[in-house]
Amino acid sequence: MNDLPFAAPVAGQSPGTNLREYTVSELSAALKRSIEENFAVVRVRGEVSGWKRVGSGHCYLALKDADAVLDAVCWRTTAIRLQVQPEDGMEVVCTGRLTTYPGRSKYQLVIDTIELAGIGALLKMLEDRRRRLAAEGLFAAERKRKLPYLPEVIGVITSPTGAVIRDILHRLADRFPRRVLLWPVAVQGEGAAAQIAAAIAGFNRLDPGGPVPRPDLLIVARGGGSLEDLMAFNEEIVVRATAASAIPLISAVGHETDTTLIDHASDRRAPTPTAAAEIAVPVRLDLVAELGGKDQRLNSALARLFGERRTHLAGLARGLPEPRDLIGAAGQRLDDRAERLALAIAGRLAVSRQRLDLAAARLRPAALSADLGRARGRLIEIEPRLAAAAARAIAARRDALDNYAGRLATHAQQHENQLRRGYAVVYADGRIATAAADVARGAVLGIQFHDGKVDAVAGSRRRRVSPPSDPPPGQGKLL
* 272, 160: one domain: yes
Highest mean pLDDT: which of 76-85, 231-240, 375-384? 231-240
* 55, 84: one domain: yes
Cα–Cα nearest to 336, from 404, 397, 400, 383:
397
Q: For residue 469, tell me if it sits in a domain.
A: yes
Instruction: Tell me what percent of the residues of the chain surpass a pLDDT of 90.
Output: 30
**Rounded to an integer, what distance in angstroms lies between the CA atom of residue 357 and that of residue 73?**
148
Q: For residue 10, tell me if it sits in a domain.
A: no
**Sequence-ordered alpha helix ranges (H) in 48-191:** 76-79, 119-135, 163-175
* 257, 342: one domain: no
In this structure, are residues 135 and 141 in contact, taking their beta carbons and an 8 Å threshold? no
In the sheet with 179-184, reading across from the earlier edge strand, the strands are: 179-184, 153-158, 217-222, 249-253, 268-269
pLDDT score recorded for residue 316: 79
Q: For residue 81, tell me if it sits in a domain.
A: yes
For residue 269, give the CATH number of its domain.
3.40.50.261
- Residue 60 — φ and ψ, nearest 5°? -125, 140
| Structural domain ending residue among the three candidates 282, 314, 341 | 282
| Structural domain ending residue among the three candidates 282, 311, 339 | 282
Mean local confidence (pLDDT), 40-64: 90
Q: For residue 297, tell me if it sits in a domain.
A: no
Provide the pLDDT confidence category of residue 350 given band limits of 50, 70 and 90.
Answer: confident
**Rounded to an integer, what distance in angstroms lies between the CA atom of residue 413 and that of residue 393?**
30
pLDDT score recorded for residue 199: 95
For residue 54, give the CATH number of its domain.
2.40.50.140
The number of residues in the chain equals: 479
* 28, 39: one domain: yes
| Structural domain ending residue among the three candidates 83, 117, 151 | 117
* 150, 258: one domain: yes
* 265, 246: one domain: yes
**Sequence-ordered alpha helix ranges (H) in 155-283:** 163-175, 192-205, 236-244, 261-265, 273-280
* 229, 358: one domain: no
- Residue 292 — φ and ψ, nearest 5°? -65, -40
pLDDT score recorded for residue 12: 43
* 191, 270: one domain: yes
In this structure, are residues 187 and 222 in contact, taking their beta carbons and an 8 Å threshold? yes
Query: What is the number of domains present in the chain?
Result: 4
Whether the pLDDT of residue 43 is over 70: the answer is yes
Q: For residue 334, tell me if it sits in a domain.
A: yes
Mean local confidence (pLDDT), 226-234: 83
* 93, 149: one domain: no
In this structure, are residues 95 and 30 in contact, taking their beta carbons and an 8 Å threshold? no
pLDDT score recorded for residue 346: 86
pLDDT score recorded for residue 120: 67
* 368, 461: one domain: no
pLDDT score recorded for residue 184: 94
Report residue 283 CA to chain centroid gap: 22
Mean local confidence (pLDDT), 198-205: 94
Mean pLDDT of the chain: 82
Domain holding 93, by residue range, is: 24-117
Mean local confidence (pLDDT), 118-141: 83
**Structure confidence by residue, pLDDT tens digits, 326-337:** 677 777 888 888
pLDDT score recorded for residue 368: 60
Q: Identify the weakest region by mean pLDDT among 48-52, 122-126, 304-308.
A: 122-126
Provide the pLDDT confidence category of residue 461 given band limits of 50, 70 and 90.
Answer: low
Q: For residue 13, tell me if it sits in a domain.
A: no
Cα–Cα nearest to 123, from 227, 271, 269:
227
Whether the pLDDT of residue 255 is over 90: the answer is no
Q: For residue 208, tell me if it sits in a domain.
A: yes
Position with higher pLDDT, 360 vs 365 = 360
**Structure confidence by residue, pLDDT tens digits, 161-181:** 888 999 999 999 989 999 999
Q: For residue 181, tell me if it sits in a domain.
A: yes
User: Could you give the angle at the alpha carbon of 30 between the alpha carbons of 24 and 36, nearest 5°?
Assistant: 130
pLDDT score recorded for residue 405: 77
DSSP per-residue codes, 44-73: EEEEEEEEEE-TTS-EEEEEE-SS-EEEEE
Cα–Cα nearest to 345, from 387, 379, 381, 384:
387
Q: Characterize 200-217 residue by residue with b for buried, 16 or more Cβ atoms within 10 angstroms of its Cβ, and e for exposed.
A: beebbebeeeeeeebbbb
* 444, 360: one domain: no
User: Could you give the angle at the alpha carbon of 292 between the alpha carbons of 290 and 296, nearest 5°?
Assistant: 120
**Sequence-ordered alpha helix ranges (H) in 421-461:** none
Q: Identify the weakest region by mean pLDDT among 205-209, 384-388, 434-438.
A: 434-438
* 100, 191: one domain: no
pLDDT score recorded for residue 98: 92
**Structure confidence by residue, pLDDT tens digits, 62-120:** 999 888 999 999 999 988 888 777 888 788 889 999 998 888 888 899 999 988 776 66
In this structure, are residues 172 and 283 in contact, taking their beta carbons and an 8 Å threshold? no
